[in-house]
Structure 1
Amino acid sequence: MADFLSQYGGLIVSLVAVGLFAGLVAGLFGIGGGAVIVPVLFFLLDGMGHSETAMHVAVSTSLATIILTSARSVMAHHGHGAVDWGIIRTWSPWIMLGATFGISLSGIMSKQLLLGLFGTLLLLLAAQLTFGRPGWKLAEQMPGGATRAGLGAGIGTLSALMGIGGGTFGVSLMTLFGMPIHRAVAPAAGWGVAIGLPGAIAAIFVGWGREGLPPMSAGFVNLPAFGLISVFTVLMAPVGAALAHRLPADNLRKLFGALLVLVAARMVWQALGL
């Protein structure tokens, strides 16, 4: 036991910490915690010597954790009467299709390309969180038909490539189409299940048998990381959801956006080999 703790104790503590913080973030912003989980997992796995697969495993494992976190988060919001189930039901099929395509595409991408894509998109997300205005609108209601199908598939694809939940792009989309942010967070959390479930399943098949995977991985999904992070994100998600209805959302978004800028810049820097 002493040898085990000596070898893996630091990793276990790190995974527990990221699970707690990711769960809090998921409840507050409906983003599934992936914007936190992916960078931390990448740097941990890269530091352990799994450089070639670290980014793929980080993205895929994050998608797997999003399933439970998002489900717990959306039920917590449901307790506040804040979930529009019609939006979840009508958008989810297209989001699931996009998520499956996105994780399949990531399987043929190099580590540097996936790392650079994640960092660049995270910078854009951080800019939107920091400088975006709730008053910006494209329309007064959510679109339907072909527009819904295209936007849903796009959200699923980009979210799967980044290993993040539906809220990352979903909250921004819904507010642009006239929905108040406090109403948008709840269905966006529900979209996380539509991204995480097909994405994680596809990641297992796409990554099966790859060389250089961390121990106890099913394809690109690392099982110990999935288990530890999932437990603590599920515990913290309802806390974040409760705080979302009490704290000043605009200030929190800007603070979180500033944090993401630093993380994204570091990942882009590494992708460029600098």
Structure 2
Amino acid sequence: MDVFLSADFLLLASVLLATGVVAGLIAGLLGVGGGIVIVPVLYHLFSLIGVDESVRMHTAVGTSLATILITGFASARSHYNKGAIDIELLKTWGPAIAIGVIIGVVVGGNIGSTALIAVFAIVALLVAINMAFRPEGAHIADQLPGSPFKQLMGVFIGGFSVLMGIGGGTLSVPILTLFNYPIRKAVATAAAIGLIIAVPGFLGYIYYGLDLPGRPDFSLGYVNLVGFALIIPTSGFFAPIGARIAHTISPRLLRLSFALFLFITSLRMMYDLLT
């Protein structure tokens, strides 16, 4: 009982609750599931409390995917109620994304922490540069390509998203807008894509992390139950608020906000990687 009343634990709880607020808003606003915030925050918190480096990033990713189950559902429901989700795209892209997730889980469960950090930092930086500096309205085609290229993009999105512990919007939104897809519709559909990624993703990280030493207390595989329990209340509450805001601000502001969050996160992770 004393551990739950200590100053360190109360500080940790406060940070995790605040993280949930930001993650929920971003999940609804940008359709990214909140993982782009949760993963680096958890990674640094686990570092501060002395979690073994070999499982630190894996546990941050697994815990993030678990929270996306709740945040993504709340965000997707809000977007669905506004009729913004492209159901037909989900039908054609969903199976390919799921295949990518399975591949990503297997890879993520068998590579080291440094590789996971590198994947997160590099992919996030590339997406941020694209979103920030791509000219307004610039695109390479007027619609998504047909099979099999469309399915290959889905596999890519699913695989790298589950390696990064994110909900899919980080990759699917810029890819969709690259093919002249409306950004608000892309954000809304990305929220639903997050659920396709999170369900098999978090189950896989539980499996690969079972009985491994060095994990933080109260962990089920690579999913830390304390982090999950403290982030969920605020993230689930604020995700619909973010979704409502997404339908009231300009697409340009939405894109720049997306890029800024990714850029800051990427630089922080690269700093840790280099030091």
How far residue 234 of structure 1 moved from its aligned partner, in angstroms, is 1.2
User: How many Å apart are 1:263 and its aligned residue?
Assistant: 2.7
Aligned to 2:164: 162
How far residue 256 of structure 1 moved from its aligned partner, in angstroms, is 4.5
Paired residues of 2:125 and 2:262 also in contact (CA < 8 A)? yes
Residue in structure 1 matched with residue 44 of structure 2 by the alignment: 43
Cα distance in 2 for residues equivalent to 1:177 and 1:244: 20
Could you tell me the TM-score, scaled by structure 1's length?
A: 0.94
Within 5 Å, which residues of 2 pair with 1:20-169? Answer: 20-50=21-51, 51-169=53-171
Contact preservation (8 Å) 2:206, 2:221:
yes
Deviations 1:177-198 (A, max 9, x none): 2211111111111100011111
Any unmatched runs of 5+ in structure 2? none
SS at the partner of 1:86?
A: helix
Report the Cα offset of residue 143 of structure 1. 3.0
Using structure 2 for the length normalisation, give the TM-score: 0.94
Residues in 2 aligned to 1:200 and 1:186: alpha-carbon distance in whole angstroms = 22
* Residue matched to 2:16: 15
Is the 2:36–2:265 Cα contact (8 Å) retained in structure 1? no
Per-residue CA deviations over 1:19-41 (Å, capped at 9, x if unaligned) read 11001001111011111000000
- Aligned CA distance change for structure 1 residues 250 and 5 (closer, same or farther; 3 Å): farther
Q: Which residue of 2 aligns with 1:175?
A: 177
Question: 1:236 deviation in Å?
Answer: 0.6
2:172 and 2:271 map into 1 onto residues whose CA distance is 27
Deviation at 1:47, TM superposition (A): 0.8
Task: Out of 36-45 and 262-271, give the one that drifted further.
Answer: 262-271
What count of residue pairs does the alignment treat as equivalent?
A: 273
Work out whether residues 134 and 175 of structure 1, in 8 Å CA contact, stay in contact via their aligned partners in 2. no
Residue 212 of structure 2 corresponds to which residue in structure 1?
210
Residue number among 217, 238, 241 corresponding to 1:239 in the alignment = 241
Q: Distance in 2 between matches of 1:4 and 1:217?
A: 16
For 2:4, the equivalent position in structure 1 comes to: 4
Instruction: Determine helix, strand or coil for the equivalent of 1:215.
Output: coil
Please report how far the alpha carbon of residue 227 of structure 1 lies from its aligned counterpart in structure 2 after TM superposition: 2.2
**SS of corresponding position for 2:216:** coil
SS in 1 for 2:148: helix
1:189-215, Cα deviation, whole Å (9 max, x unpaired): 110001111111111111111110111
Contact 1:134–1:181, Cα closer than 8 Å, also in 2: no
Aligned match of 1:229 in 216, 220, 231?
231
Task: Give the Cα–Cα distance (whole angstroms) in 2 for the partners of residues 2 and 108 of structure 1.
Answer: 36
Partners of 2:11 and 2:27 in 1: CA distance:
24
Secondary structure at 1:145 match in 2: coil
Amino acid at match of 1:120: I
Structure 1's consecutive aligned runs of 4 or more residues displaced over 3 angstroms after TM superposition are none
- Give me the CA root mean square deviation: 1.6
SS at match of 1:265: helix
**Sequence identity of aligned pairs in percent?**
41
Letter paired with 2:132: T
Report SS of the residue matched to 1:232. helix
